[in-house]
Amino acid sequence: MSDKPVRQHGAMEFSNAPVDLNVVRKYRLDRVREQLKRRDYVGILLFDPLNTRYACDATNMQVWCTHYETRCLFVATEGPMVLFDYGDYPHLVEGLDLIDEYRVHQSSYYMAAADRSKEKAGLFADDIADLLSRYGAGNRRLAIDRLSYPGSRALLDRGLTIHDGQQVMELARVIKSDEEVVLMQTSIDVCETAMAEMHQALVPGITENALWSILHQKNIELGGEWIETRLLSSGERTQPWFRECSMRPVSEGDLVSFDTDLVGPYGYCADISRSWLCGDVLPTAEQKRIYQLAVEQIEYNKALIKPGVSYRELSQTAWPIPEEFVQNRYSVLMHGVGLADEFPGIKHWCDFKESGYDGVVEAGMALCVESYIGSETSDMGVKLEEQVLVTEGGIRQLSQYPLEAALMA
């Protein structure tokens, strides 16, 4: 690696990183190449901005690039890393010494190319085929995380075989280095600072949207990047789950439940859920009951997590959900987290036969433990979620925002 000062990119530029970012970047690239070697792939082509960020740490219009195939990264298993960017903006990779070459991408998506899509896809495919010829020693096995028909067809027409790049990246991203954990904790700290301001602003009459906007504002102010969802609801809108925030004014005595899904500084996700009581009032017996059941579910399932336990075992031995809440159960017991929600997604036992898969928990995984408690016959629900790190001795909880004392009493 270069002896030059580490260059930060994106929202945290002009600040002091808490770890050596070059160490993080090398670790992540090595993880990608390790997965490529295991599968005998000559390289990987990445269009998902989260995967590109993981492999090279260069950012450019991350959210915009999620819906246009306008920027991608080629990582050779044995050879260069080449960034194909939206335009000719090489200043966006200054100081990222692991990127060997910077090129302008021949975008073939319809908005950019219209009836020239096939032509543009062919030019890009020629570039990729040439890279494989130079660095593949005859190997034509290319992993791709995602690519629409014109680009995929052009690569196949040039004799390449296409393989699952998302599998490569999910398995690369699953084990966090010590430095990554520090960066993730930085995002969690920003998230919880914003949550404290939300909590203070929660008074009768504030709209759900106004309350949610505080999370966005504080995240941006402190160097965060974006928020993946708008999952905040109040009162009768808290059951069933997955309603996004609205112009509804919050009333005194309402439960307010939310899920942060916040992508903070350095691109790491803080995925924490809380339910609060609005106003200076005593909670109802039902509010306390469902809240304490959600806490019980979280604590019970956290205690099961340790290195070596299988996903199947976690599913089979998880907290038994009372029958009245089974229908509205959350979609997973727990899931991985890194630059966003990640592999694995561990299903409830009642869902395991249809949609579960097995695997083994390892030290270095970061997991989010989920609970949603809401009955079909009720007009309220509680959402809680904690973010933890798997260690050799069990877990270390990363999220620290306090539970709602009034609902715990």
Measured CA to CA, the distance from residue 18 to residue 194 in angstroms comes to 20
Which H or E run includes 159? none
Tens-place pLDDT, residues 183-239:
999 999 999 999 999 999 999 999 999 999 999 999 999 999 999 999 999 999 999
As a whole number, mean pLDDT of residues 359-375 equals: 98
Domains and CATH numbers, the chain: 10-172 (3.40.350.10), 178-408 (3.90.230.10)
Tens-place pLDDT, residues 327-353:
999 999 999 999 999 999 999 999 999
The set of residues, in sequence order, having a beta carbon less than 8 Å from that of 268 and lying 6+ positions away, is 180, 183, 184, 186, 187, 338, 339
Tens-place pLDDT, residues 122-180:
999 999 999 999 999 999 999 999 999 999 999 999 999 999 999 999 999 999 999 99
Tens-place pLDDT, residues 273-327:
999 999 999 999 999 999 999 999 999 999 999 999 999 999 999 999 999 999 9
Taking the model in full, what pTM does it have? 0.95
Q: Is the peptide bond before 150 cis (omega within 30 degrees of 0)?
A: no
pLDDT value at 395 more than 90: yes
Tens-place pLDDT, residues 230-247:
999 999 999 999 999 999
pLDDT value at 365 more than 70: yes
Residue 1 pLDDT class (50, 70, 90 cuts): very low
Measured over all CA atoms, what is the biggest interatomic distance in the chain, rounded to whole angstroms? 72
Q: Compute the Cα dihedral for 340, 345, 350, 351 and give only its sign.
A: positive
Distances (CA, A) of 84 to 26, 105, 302, 321: 20, 5, 42, 49
How are beta strands 262-263 and 382-391 bridged, if at all?
unpaired
Per DSSP, 234 falls in state: E
Radius of gyration for the chain, computed over Cα atoms and rounded to the nearest angstrom: 23
